[in-house]
Amino acid sequence: MKLHIKKGDTVKVIAGNSRGKNGKVLEVYPSKYRAIVEGLNMVTKHNKPSAESPEGGIKKVEASIHLSNLMLVDPASGEATKTGRKKDENQKLQRFSKKTGEVIKNG
């Protein structure tokens, strides 16, 4: 499955509670078509006391966001952009920004 977003990319959220915010992609789940973005879509997790953490407690963690709600931020211009794919001189697929036409480096 080919995705328009990879781990390490900077993305902008275009829908949902975190709309308009930017963040770095920490993890991508291709089978679920979702990604975890640093500092966005925070949810509260309740931790039961255990041997390793006897106090337990409440913790804020990032929840996954559907990839259709994320848009890649072009590193060159700093704006959200659609991505395309084209082959370079070595016949390798490269992602490129449809706004500027420049190749997007991975990560």
Domain holding 40: CATH number?
Answer: 2.30.30.30
C-alpha closest to that of 72 among 2, 1, 8: 8
- Determine, yes or no, domain membership for 22: yes
67 secondary structure, DSSP code: G
Instruction: Give me the number of domains the chain comprises.
Output: 1
- Determine, yes or no, domain membership for 43: yes
Q: Which domain holds residue 33?
A: 10-75
73 secondary structure, DSSP code: B
- Determine, yes or no, domain membership for 102: no
pLDDT at 107 over 70: no
pLDDT at 34 over 90: yes
- Rounded to an integer, the average pLDDT of 73-87 is 87
Residue type, 105: K
- Determine, yes or no, domain membership for 38: yes
C-alpha closest to that of 70 among 10, 26, 30: 10
Residue type, 10: T
Q: Mapping DSSP to helix (H, G, I), strand (E, B) and coil, where does residue 74 land?
A: coil
- Determine, yes or no, domain membership for 96: no
- Determine, yes or no, domain membership for 49: yes
- Determine, yes or no, domain membership for 95: no
- Determine, yes or no, domain membership for 55: yes
Q: What is the pTM of this model?
A: 0.81
Q: How confident is the model at residue 64, as a pLDDT?
A: 93
